[in-house]
């Protein structure tokens, strides 16, 4: 398994190395399923990248910050509409799908690649299954 989690990310979190390794394994195992290009686990408090299975040439720090902002802004909007708390959201773009899933104080972000055959139902089911496991780890 290729590790994309760096020591910098490990130092900026209070999770144990064993927990981080388990999280990293879960994210890496999701790659390739249902058209998934890679995943991020991002702190919703500060946009900090906790783990990633995206390719190493991707600016994961920048993507993590933007994803945290997107999720936070939509959380506020959903609350103002009296629709409760935001649990999941899916964005379909011309370059693929971004799916967000609340995991405790973090958000799991899943990216698909353009041109991949994506089973949205399968993607949602996998996300919920792995999200619950990640939530238990955190």
* Domains by residue range for the chain, with CATH: 7-137 (3.30.450.30)
Q: What percent of the chain has pLDDT above 90?
A: 54
| Mean pLDDT, the chain, whole residue set | 85
The per-residue pLDDT for 115 is 77
Residue 103 has pLDDT above 90, yes or no: yes
Write 67-76 long-range contacts (CB < 8 A, 24+). Answer: 67/40, 67/42, 67/98, 67/100, 67/107, 67/109, 68/42, 68/43, 68/44, 68/107, 70/100, 71/42, 71/44, 71/100, 71/102, 71/107, 72/44
Task: List pLDDT tens digits, range 111-124.
Answer: 998 877 778 888 89
**pTM value > 0.85:** no
The per-residue pLDDT for 67 is 94
The per-residue pLDDT for 13 is 55
Residue 8 has pLDDT above 70, yes or no: no
Residue 2 has pLDDT above 50, yes or no: no
Task: List pLDDT tens digits, range 31-81.
Answer: 988 889 999 999 988 889 999 999 888 899 999 999 999 999 999 999 999
């Amino acid at each position: 398994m290729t590790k994309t989690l760096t020591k910098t990310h490990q130092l900026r979190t209070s999770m144990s190395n064993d927990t981080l390794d388990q999280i990293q394994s879960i994210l890496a195992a999701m790659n390739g399923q249902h058209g998934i290009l890679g995943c991020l686990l991002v702190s919703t408090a500060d946009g900090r990248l906790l783990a990633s299975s995206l390719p190493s040439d991707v600016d994961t720090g920048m993507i993590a910050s933007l994803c945290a902002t997107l999720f936070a802004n939509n959380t506020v909007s959903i609350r103002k509409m009296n629709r409760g708390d935001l649990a999941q959201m899916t964005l379909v773009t011309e370059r693929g799908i971004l799916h967000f899933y609340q995991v405790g104080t973090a958000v799991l972000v899943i990216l698909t690649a353009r041109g991949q055959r994506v089973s949205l139902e399968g993607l949602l089911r996998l996300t919920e299954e792995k999200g619950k496991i990640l939530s238990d780890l955190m």
